[in-house]
Structure 1
Amino acid sequence: MPDVTPGSAGLAGLNALGPAEAERELLSCCASPAFARGAAALLPCDDPARLVASAGDLVRELGWDDVREALAAHPRIGARAAGTGREASWSRAEQSGTAGADRRVLAELAAGNALYEQRFGHVYLVCATGLSAEEMLDRLMARLRADEETERAVVREELAKITELRVAKLLARDEESA
């Protein structure tokens, strides 16, 4: 068994961890304990692509209370993630399209976030990787017109995409340290 320190992750690292330690690592990808338990139960795994896809499937199958628990860990779009941990770092990178955005767009995002939270009762979530602030705002405005059931389906899909990207980043840490 390789010498693995929690936090070193990578596929080999995850495979070497006990269930509780693996769950802690996986919580950085999706802050739902139900997700982390389900993903840790897939270990050991020898196929990173299968683990990434399975992680997305697990998120899509979460109950709404579990989704809301995961949403609570996400900062508002346009707001800087607090903290110095892995999740905060990933969130800042994912939302990098808001860096240097026009003040008007950022103000509209802030106002839209408030309207969204008032309407749906949780943070607006979008897989922001590769999107400009304007694109995030356009999606927010469109989603404000959705009914609750439709929006819940969109939120689950966005959370699944974010989780897949983060699991892939966690697994890529093997290559970074090699």
Structure 2
Amino acid sequence: MSSLDDFNGEPADRAVQALRACNAAPRFAAELVAGRPYRDVGTLVDRAEEVARALPWEEVLIALAAHPRIGDRPEGDSTEAMSSRTEQSSMSGADDATREALVGGNRRYEERFDHVFLIRASGRSPQEMLAELERRLGNDEETERAEVTGQLAEITALRVRALVS
């Protein structure tokens, strides 16, 4: 898809498929497609973020399952893999100590919360992501779920904007 007009005019099943690369939660794509047509990109992106923030935890977990660990290099040529590689491009400049700390932090996080650590990597340095990982390891379950949902909404908004820009 290359424009908002394309998105608004796309058959529903194709629009849903395109949106799944932005957020794999089924409710997300269904709600966004049901709201078409959108008058401008900003309205679509705002709605995408709003829907993502309102997802029930079970749907957030579905979306999380599609995200790689911070520091992993997603393979393949799917839209989601390409988005993840772009979003995590700052990791290419990470030193060995930061990479090792992220690997260990990811393992501790997954043992504690039973899902992948999710953070909007775009615009953040490896050191910033590591600091956030360490900070969030101290969260309780409820606080962390809220942070994960917020990060998912930010990532989703960036991906939807890219989809129609």
CA–CA distance in structure 2, aligned partners of residues 37 and 82 of structure 1 = 27
What secondary structure, in the 3-state scheme, does the structure 1 residue paired with 2:106 have? helix
Deviation at 1:9, TM superposition (A): 4.1
Partner amino acid, structure 2, of 1:92: R
Name which structure has the greater RCO, CA cutoff 8 Å, separation 6+: 2
CA–CA distance in structure 1, aligned partners of residues 75 and 23 of structure 2 = 16
Give percent identity, aligned residues only: 45
Report how many aligned residue pairs link the two structures. Answer: 165
Contact 1:55 1:164 survives alignment (8 Å): yes
Partner amino acid, structure 2, of 1:113: N
CA–CA distance in structure 2, aligned partners of residues 42 and 142 of structure 1 = 37
Instruction: Report what 2:36 is aligned to.
Output: 43
Q: Which runs of 5+ in 2 are unaligned?
A: none
1:135 to 108, 121, 128: 128
CA–CA distance in structure 2, aligned partners of residues 79 and 10 of structure 1 = 30
Instruction: Report what 2:106 is aligned to.
Output: 113
What secondary structure, in the 3-state scheme, does the structure 1 residue paired with 2:27 have? helix
CA–CA distance in structure 1, aligned partners of residues 22 and 148 of structure 2 = 16
**RMSD over equivalenced CA pairs, Å:** 0.8
What secondary structure, in the 3-state scheme, does the structure 1 residue paired with 2:55 have? coil
Q: Which runs of 5+ in 1 are unaligned?
A: 1-7, 173-178
Pairing 1:146–2:139 present: yes
Deviation at 1:10, TM superposition (A): 2.1
What secondary structure, in the 3-state scheme, does the structure 2 residue paired with 1:79 have? coil
What CA deviation, in whole Å up to 9, does each residue of 1:94-153 have, x standing for no partner? Answer: 111111210110010011001001100100000011111111000000000000000000
Pairing 1:163–2:156 present: yes
Contact 1:9 1:25 survives alignment (8 Å): no
Partner amino acid, structure 2, of 1:116: Y
What secondary structure, in the 3-state scheme, does the structure 2 residue paired with 1:99 have? helix
Contact 1:29 1:163 survives alignment (8 Å): yes
What CA deviation, in whole Å up to 9, does each residue of 1:19-64 have, x standing for no partner? Answer: 2111111111101111010111111112110110000000111010
Q: How high is the TM-score relative to the length of structure 2?
A: 0.97
Partner amino acid, structure 1, of 2:115: H
Deviation at 1:87, TM superposition (A): 1.1
2:56 to 63, 67, 88: 63
1:102 to 79, 82, 95: 95
Q: How high is the TM-score relative to the length of structure 1?
A: 0.90
